[in-house]
Amino acid sequence: MTVRQPQPHPVSPGAGTGPRRRALALLAAATAVGSTGLAAGGTAGALLVVDITGAHAMAGVPLGLLVVGSAAGAPLLAQQAAAGRRVRGLALGYAIGVAGALIVVLAALWQNLPLLLAGSFVLGVANSSVFMSRYAAMDAATEGTRGRAIGVVFAAMALGAIVSPTLLGPSGSVARAMGLPPLAGLYLVAVLAFGGAAVLLAARSGALATHPEPGDGRGIVAVLADTMHRPAAVTAVIVLAATNFVMVGVMTIAPVHLTGHGHSLGQVGAIIALHVTGMFAVAPLTGLLADRAGPAVVARLGGLLLTVAMVIGLFVEGSGVLVMTVHLLVLGVGWNCGVVGGSTLLGTAVPARTRPHVEGIAEVMMGLAAAAAGPVSGLVAELGGYLTYCLIAIPAAVFLFLRRIPA
């Protein structure tokens, strides 16, 4: 069986900067709109399941299912990319996310746990579209500028993702006025955000069209087996998965921890917005560093910052808002370094013909790591408190810092 793979660049290597800039601008605009829906699953989901069940140990389950849905969506999007339909695949993922958000709105209205869990899973496919946009950005980049291309898309993502959690309070008021529970508000935002991104990408998909070329004659299993035996590729996947494990586990229990200590939804949203700022807004700098100093440097810096964040997390109990804010801000910057470094390393570690498939594998591994971190962190926090999960996460962060990463 032969495999047909795409030419990785939507414009030819000799094309000028104009087409590449227009391609990145389109991706940035769609990502800015779509990322406005991120906080629905990441923030409101944990609060909503606790509201429905009354069990804090359940806080990580919606996010866990969301990341499982994101992992399930990644092969679908990767398959579309391999067929030369990367942007249409991203649009499809956003459209599926709209359906998931509507399901959760009904779950909130009817206080129905199974619907909440099902909707969280479906919603995750849109998250896959948001985060896999960085690979579309690398398609539009030239050799040596992949980090900066990721930085452009992540900076756009920051615009929506930073605003998103701050809408927790205002969107709750809108939902209440519509006769819905306040925690359904962010899911209404997700409907508009994911729907807008899907329309924008579907309408302009031709601007980023790719064109398939013949594969090298080997079966897909053989091609991927060969690729995943490349040390740099394996390391990149490990960096992405471990980074996500540390960050998602903390962010599963952080909103519940804050509300449990008497903070309003507006305060929780503002603190998480600062965390999201760290996740995305520094991407132009980390992307430039990845291009100049190498992705290994950025990935190792991520491990160091995640370790620092987890150590700070040991002291959040009874320390007030400032320590918690610094803890989450450093966590966000560490995550950014890990993802930018790992993604850029992946882009240079595998042949262009198999890159879409390996990107899908990397996203699945990130999703599985997050799926494990979400429920585990909720259970651990219930049994031992917030600092207990930080203790568990420290070895993973230290591993990222100490691991030898190919330059």
Q: Does an H or E element contain 199, and which?
A: helix 185-203
Nearest to 238 by CA among 374, 70, 368, 78: 368
The vertex-213 CA angle with 210 and 215, nearest 5°, equals 130
Distance, CA of 298 to CA of 174 (rounded, Å): 41
Q: Does an H or E element contain 296, and which?
A: helix 295-313
* Domains of the chain, CATH where assigned: 13-209+218-402 (1.20.1250.20)
What number of other Cβ atoms are within 10 A of residue 17's Cβ?
Answer: 11
pLDDT confidence bin for 12, thresholds 50/70/90 = very low
pLDDT confidence bin for 30, thresholds 50/70/90 = very high
CB 188 within 8 A of CB 171: yes
CB 159 within 8 A of CB 77: no
pLDDT tens per residue, range 321-375:
788 889 899 999 999 999 999 999 998 888 777 788 888 888 888 888 887 887 7
DSSP 63: H
Distance, CA of 181 to CA of 291 (rounded, Å): 46
pLDDT tens per residue, range 222-247:
656 766 778 888 889 999 999 998 98
Max CA-CA distance within the chain?
62
Both structure tokens of 16: 């000028």
DSSP 204: T
End-to-end CA distance of the chain: 34
What is the model's pTM? 0.80
What is the amino acid identity at position 311?
V
Contacts of residue 258, Cβ cutoff 8 Å, sequence gap at least 6:
267, 268, 271, 324
Range with lowest mean pLDDT among 69-73, 208-212, 299-303, 375-379: 208-212
pLDDT tens per residue, range 272-289:
878 888 888 899 999 999
pLDDT tens per residue, range 46-104:
788 888 888 777 777 887 788 789 889 998 998 888 777 888 899 999 999 999 999 99
